[in-house]
Amino acid sequence: MSTASVLFVCVKNGGKSQMAAALMRKSAGDRVGVHSAGTAPGSSLNALSVQVLDEVGAPTAGEYPKPIDPHLLSEVDLVVTLGSEARVDAPATVVVENWNTDEPSERGIDGIERMRLVRDDIAARVDELTARLLTAADGR
């Protein structure tokens, strides 16, 4: 049974928010309800994102870009936006935090190497968030 729930949001829901969701599922298992969405969903997952998630055993099978479900938005405990472009108008009862993730392309790093760095940055943030959510749930 889930003790907390989180919605990861980016613009296209094809890369960073899907990465965060897959990594959270791997980190927290069924102890945290995990969802992802996009403010302007694309048509497919980023192939390099899927590849680097597979490398660390965080599968994305069955996932696809989807819009924010207003009902889900009102039910989750936390919304995490990834990057500076995704904006979410969440109900006052829902906590929203933003992760301005590493962008290796700004340093001239592209392709699979870029995706691995993005994944590792998100993974570290997910691990911290998992610990925080589970500690809070234990204190309930």
Work out the percent of the chain whose per-residue pLDDT is above 90.
Answer: 90
According to DSSP, the β-strands at 32-38 and 95-99 are unpaired
State pLDDT tens for residues 81-120.
Answer: 998 899 999 999 999 999 999 899 999 999 999 999 999 9
- pTM over 0.85? The answer is yes
For residue 1, what pLDDT band results from cuts at 50, 70 and 90? very low
| pLDDT for 140 beyond 70 | no
In this structure, what DSSP letter does residue 84 have?
Answer: S
Q: Supply 80's token pair.
A: 């995490």
In the chain, % helix, strand, coil (3-state, to 5) comes to 45, 20, 35
Phi-psi region of 83 (alpha: psi -120 to 50; beta: other; left: phi over 0): left
pLDDT confidence tier of residue 136, bands split at 50, 70 and 90 = confident
Cα 34 to Cα 136: distance, rounded to the nearest angstrom: 16
